[in-house]
A and B are shown apart, each in its own frame.
Chain A
Amino acid sequence: MNESAFKTLLTSSPEHPPVLFHQRMESTLAEIVRQEENEMKESTKQALKKGSIWGSRTLAIALLITLLLGSVALAAGLGLFQQLSQMPQEDKRLPALDQVSTPLNQSAATDAGVTVTIRQAYYDGQRIFVSYKLEGERVAVEKGEGIPQVKEWAFQQEGMLYGRDYDSAMEGDEEIAAWLDGTSPRWARRTATAPHDGLSLSDGTWLDIISGNAYQQEDGSEIGWKECLVPQDKQADTLEVNLMLFTGATTYYQDEQGMKWAYERVGENVLIPFTVKKDSITKALTGQADAGKWQAKADVCLSPVDIRGEIVVSCPKEWADALVDWKENDVNPIADWQLYDGDTRVEGHNLRGGYRKQSENQLAYSICFQYGSDTKHLKLVPVYLDGTADPAHAIRLEVPTITYQRRK
């Protein structure tokens, strides 16, 4: 083993401040602040009695508290997930992800000098979340006169003019449109490097993306995050994962007749391997409800980031007709679910609201709520198509009980 392999192994090990450590640090600092407030109140009383001033001592203490709290605020608040959470309309789960994810800083670069760094990763047993940063010249535009060499044109349209009738909504469009003005045969090529949508396991299994976003920064870099699903038969305590960086070139040709474009991959994909370890805090919860007309069974996963899973409802055939096949009938099927903690509804809507027909008499509903608290009183309340909630037939979520059978 060389020093670099040793470093990689150490970096990928999941040794990071656990939630317990962070919480204890925060609660201790909160206690210190409370003590300081009490002391200040007392000092004020004494000062008023004695007519003295306590300014300088308080100033020194305030500085110390700022230093202490600043340390925690930095630790808790400057990860990339946290930075991404400050983007408008971003996913509300990102601050929690910042707390529980493992810092990685695994990098790789393309031959053209584009570097991708995986900054944080989190694996709850079913999904992998990563935050990453892309640096270097990610998009390059080349231009030329005449007809370019391409393997095969993927698209061609007579009478179409780039910039007037067509744009790709990608970086460099303005420059390309200014060049391809249709006055003479010209071409432009945009070469772009980007991470693949999903992730892959070391055995090649593809992990589909569920959600994510990417943003260009003022310094030209790009930051982003992804949430990818691990197939059930591949879920394990530790996974070797790859983020894949690929480069592609789109060549546009414009002449007086019209426009054409061709696309081809450039060079080899660059893999950035990293290891994730399952978070042991994540819990599987199940529950059932029977309303007579319908019966439901929920299988969900409660992680520090969210609560998500599926509810399978056995119901009249007409429900699927109305919801999935858009047939008009008089039924009032379950259309969505709300999360309750005890008798209080948890704020926020179902992030993955949706349903699919599992069979003629079964509908499967996806649920995902931003909720990281551990509680024993979680309930899923059905909401019918007409908007009414039905707390009387809620599904109570519990840790599944395992029954052991004595061997004969």
Chain B
Amino acid sequence: MQMERLMYHVSHAYLQNPADCADAVQEALMKAWQKRHTLRDEGQFGPWLIRILKNQCKDMLKKRRRESLFPLEEDSALQPGPEPLHPVMEAVERLPAEQRLLILLHYKEGYSLQEMSHALHLPAGTIKSRMRSARKALSRTLLIEWEETI
């Protein structure tokens, strides 16, 4: 998968909003540019950039939570509701960000365990246990028979 799609999936797994994803990728790229001297091995460019993006998304989530404690005054009744999702997508969207990202990368984009481990700079064991938890959570609502290749 190309870097742009990976960056989109990572940001969307955390933020679930296209406009926020665009903000996050902009900030992450600018930060990567400012911190370029910290990248020692160009071969690790992808995982390094993804780490910066994940941190950016987490910062934005924290900010969002703080703001939700002090919401701006607006008439939420006038806002259009989100488009209804397919039950499968809805179940995936309800997973925690880290699990959701792995499910999308593996089942939607065809990432192998090794590819996810490299791209996200995560140990294979961590990926396996997160995948197990994600499948378990999905099975509660979707009754899927898993083959468990990872």
Contact = CB atoms under 8 A, between A and B. Distances in A.
Interface of A: 1-3, 6-7, 9-11, 13, 15-18, 20-25, 27-29, 31-32, 35, 60-61, 63-64, 67-68, 71-72, 74-76, 78, 103, 105
A349 B89 CA distance: 42
Interface in B116-130: none
B108 A11 contact: yes
A2 B3 contact: no
Interface stretch (B62-70, B73-81, B142-150): B142-150
Given A10-B92, A11-B108, A71 B4 contact: yes
Given A1-B145, A6-B144, A76-B4, A20 B29 contact: no
Contacts of A60: 36
Contacts of A3: 144-147
Interface centre among A3, A63, A74 (most CB of B within 10 A): A3
B25 A25 contact: yes
Nearest to A57: B37
B25 A75 contact: no
Instruction: Name A's interface SS.
Output: helix
A20 B21 CA distance: 9
Given A1-B142, A32-B29, A6 B88 contact: yes
Give the interface residue-count category, chain B.
35 or more
Contact of A72 (B3, B18, B26, B147): B3
B66 to A, nearest CB: 24
Nearest to A31: B30
A28 B30 contact: yes
B2 A78 contact: yes
A27 B25 CA distance: 11
Interface string B1-25: 0111101100010000011011101
B86 A9 contact: yes
Contact of B30 (A2, A32, A67): A32
Contacts of B103: 10
A18 B12 CA distance: 11
A25 B4 CA distance: 8
A21 B23 CA distance: 8
A17 B88 contact: no
B143 A71 contact: no
- Shortest beta-carbon contacts, A-B, top 3: A75-B4, A71-B3, A75-B2
A24 B145 contact: no
B108 A21 contact: no
A17 B5 contact: yes
A29 B29 contact: yes
Given A72-B3, A78-B2, A28 B25 contact: yes
